[in-house]
Each structure stands twice: as C-alpha cells, then as structure tokens.
C-alpha cells in the first residue's frame, strides 16, 4: 500500500512540475531585460505586461489547440502541420494577426475538407 502512495505522490509532483513549466515557459520565451529595471513606480512592469501577455496568451492557446488536434485526429496530422506552418510564415511576413489567424484557420478547414 505504501508503494501506491509513493507513486501517487510522485505523479502529483511530476504533473505539477509540467503544469508549472507550461505556465512559465511563454513568460521566459517572451521575456525582455527591460522589465527588470523598474523606476519604482511600476510603469516598466506594466509596459512589460501589456507587451507580453497577448503573445503569451496566443502561444498557450496555439499549443493547446495543436495538442488537442493531434490527440483527436492523429491519423491525419498533415493538414494541421501545413496550416501551422502557413500561419507562422504569414505572421512573420505580414505581422498581422488577423491575416495569419484567419488564413491559417481557413487553410486548415479547406485541407480537412479535401482530405476527408
């Protein structure tokens, strides 16, 4: 019985670490060194939050959508991969979230309709 308790505790700790990493990773990825130089009024930190939170939220949502799609339709991941690459290239090329999001979503829907 003690082994089951130890295994459960280990699983809880590992899952907690994974969840913590998933929450912290985007903040580390989009981090700038400017938010460390606060003037005492918090203005720099607020600027950091305003600049960082939208891309962090979009990154978390994108990873969640991609992971969910791979879990549901692992038999045909090609439309998803093509749409993700298109979305990334379109965003890097045009720097317009609407074009990249709607273009990638439309391409994904089209490729799914054509493949199945």
Q: Does pTM surpass 0.85?
A: no
The CA distance from 93 to 68, in Å, is 27
DSSP state of 95: -
CB 85, CB 111: distance < 8 Å: no
Of 12-21, 22-31, 86-95, give the lowest mean pLDDT range: 22-31
- Of 24-28, 33-37, 73-77, 108-112, highest mean pLDDT: 108-112
């Amino acid at each position: 019985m003690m082994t089951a308790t130890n295994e459960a505790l280990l699983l809880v700790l590992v899952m907690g670490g994974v969840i913590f990493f998933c929450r912290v990773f985007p903040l580390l990825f989009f981090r700038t060194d400017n938010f460390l130089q606060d003037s005492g009024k918090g203005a720099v930190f607020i600027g950091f939050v305003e600049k960082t939170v939208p891309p962090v939220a979009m990154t978390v949502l994108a990873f969640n959508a991609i992971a969910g799609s791979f879990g549901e339709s692992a038999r045909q991941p090609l439309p998803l991969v093509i749409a993700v690459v298109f979305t990334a290239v379109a965003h890097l090329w045009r720097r317009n979230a609407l074009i990249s999001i709607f273009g990638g979503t439309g391409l994904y829907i089209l490729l799914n309709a054509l493949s199945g």
